Chain A
Amino acid sequence: MSTTNSIAQARKLVEQLRVEAGIERIKVSKAAAELMSYCEQHAHSDPLLVGVPTSENPFKDKKPCILL
């Protein structure tokens, strides 16, 4: 019984590997360039990257300034 199971499992694995082997791949140069481009395009609107001005920071308590 366990042999039948192992063969079934092995058949499934081969089937899956066939699917994965058959996919289309693009060149790393193209993929990496697009990742870089995406980062560049969105950098200016990335709050953690460019910082958040206090007045626009919903997490910062806006305490009034006390002039002594």
Chain B
Amino acid sequence: MGEMEQLRKEAESLKDQISAARKAVHDVTLPEIVSGTAVVGRVQLKTRKTLRGHLAKIYAMHWGTDSKLCVSASQDGKLIVWDSYTTNKVHAIPLKSSWVMTCAYAPSGNMVACGGLDNMCSIYNLKGKDGNVKVMRELAAHTGYLSCCRFLNDSEIITSSGDCTCALWDIETGTQKTIFSGHMGDCMSLAVSHDFNMFISGACDYTAKLWDIREGACRQTFGGHESDINAIGFFPNGNAVLTGSDDGTCKMYDLRADQELITYQDPSIMCGVTSLAPSLSGRLILAGYDDFNCNIWDSLKAERVGVLAGHDNRVSCIGVTPDGMAACTGSWDSFLKIWN
């Protein structure tokens, strides 16, 4: 038997082993465990603010840690930092490349980052001496589009790319400290754990992967989706992962049981999930879809308990404030809406 054939057989055998190990701990289903719990009551959130100013599709938004300021990115070639309480624009940053697909706010509030079809992650210093916002670094090394980025701190950022890899960068030197490879399709989205030791990525190979940032290694891989995973997030207790896919469903995977616990789906939903965010307790999952709506799911009972309707085009991004007070949706209709 050639080595290739041997390796193929070994891979198949290991996959069977993983399947069997997952089955062995599957002693009950989530629906069975929560059968005695009632579905949450109808959730009706109202638009409290509409952030107007972008002139084209909004592709991404991210809340600052103060739960007040947020940054949004639009293909009008601008990053706007908003004061969501007053709707004032704190900064309007013109971008070199208008093909932006992602943006991020540093936990310190000192920087924002963005990137897209330019294959780069550009870091902007918001607290420059003369008050002007300038490009601080251009992180270039990915050979595909930048789909998502998240700061660990003011000197490190993690990116995901259409080149099928994710990377940890040293912002100071502008170099990749670690490359996370393993996905067999474009990496579309990433989320960092609360303790900043791990991150999860969702990709066009239909899988989600859990990575150890310092070891540079993939710890776990979760399958089950039938199409690209566009959105990913941690459940608030850090022990579960939420994914949203072009297959129209969201899923919750438990990290310690190493398997899918539940799928959030409805036969009436026939379009892809673009974005998702859990509420503070994790009981609600807000998910944005291609059909211009956002569905609110009871995460334990897997039932739809509300809808955010108000955009005139695809909901491309959604984020819940760190303090849980509000959700923000961004849309191809060029507006951001704040709901609670």
Distance in angstroms from B51 CB to nearest chain A CB is: 11
Once the chains are docked, how many angstroms separate the CA of A18 from the CA of B217? 13
B25 to chain A, nearest CB (A): 5
Chain B residues whose CB sits within 8 angstroms of the CB of A36 once the complex forms: 33-34, 37, 300
Could you tell me the distance between the alpha carbons of A3 and B76 in the complex, rounded to whole angstroms?
45
Interface size class of B (residues with CB under 8 A): 35 or more
Which residues of A are found within 8 Å of B237, using beta-carbon distances?
Answer: 34-35, 38
Give the residue of B280, B300, B338 whose beta carbon is less than 8 angstroms from that of A46.
Answer: B280
Q: Does A55 contact B (CB under 8 A)?
A: no
Which of these binds chain A: B3-11, B130-138, B226-234? B3-11
Q: Which residue of A lies closest to B46 (CB)?
A: A60
Task: Pick out which of these stretches binds chain A: B117-125, B141-149, B168-176, B255-263.
Answer: B255-263
A61 to chain B, nearest CB (A): 8
A residues less than 8 Å from B15 (CB atoms): 17
A28/B14 in contact, CB under 8 A: no
Q: Are B282 and A42 in contact (CB under 8 A)?
A: yes
CB within 8 Å for A49 and B281 given contacts A36-B33, A38-B237, A57-B48: yes
Question: A1-44 CB contact bits vs B (8 Å, 1 = yes)?
Answer: 00100110011011011111101111111111111101101110
B320 proximity list for chain A (CB < 8 A): 48
List the A side residues contacting B327 at CB < 8 Å.
Answer: 48
> How distant is B164 from chain A, measured CB to nearest CB, in Å?
12
Known: A10-B11, A59-B48, A59-B326. A27 touches B27 (CB 8 A): yes
In contact, A35 and B239 (Cβ under 8 angstroms): yes
A18 to B13, CA, bound (A): 10
Cβ-defined contact, A59 with B338, below 8 A: yes
Of all chain B residues, which has the CB nearest A33?
B33
B283-A27 in contact (CB<8A): no
Minimum CB–CB distance for B248 against chain A, Å: 23
The answer to whether B14 and A39 have CB atoms under 8 Å apart is no
A26 touches B25 (CB 8 A): yes
B240 near A: Cβ within 8 Å?
yes
Q: B97 at the A/B interface (Cβ < 8 Å)? A: no
**Partner-A contacts on B (CB < 8 A):** 3-4, 7-8, 10-11, 14-15, 17-18, 21-22, 24-30, 33-34, 37, 40, 43, 45, 48-49, 68, 84-85, 182, 217-221, 235-237, 239-240, 254, 256-259, 261, 279-284, 286, 299-300, 320, 323-327, 338, 340
New A-B pairs, 8, CB < 8 Å, besides A28-B28, A28-B257: A10-B8, A14-B10, A25-B257, A28-B29, A28-B259, A33-B33, A39-B281, A45-B324
**A-B pairs with beta carbons under 8 Å apart, 14 shown:** A17-B14, A20-B14, A21-B17, A25-B21, A27-B25, A31-B240, A39-B282, A42-B281, A46-B281, A47-B326, A48-B280, A48-B284, A48-B325, A49-B43
Query: Footprint of B on A, CB under 8 Å?
Result: 3, 6-7, 10-11, 13-14, 16-21, 23-36, 38-39, 41-43, 45-49, 52, 57-60
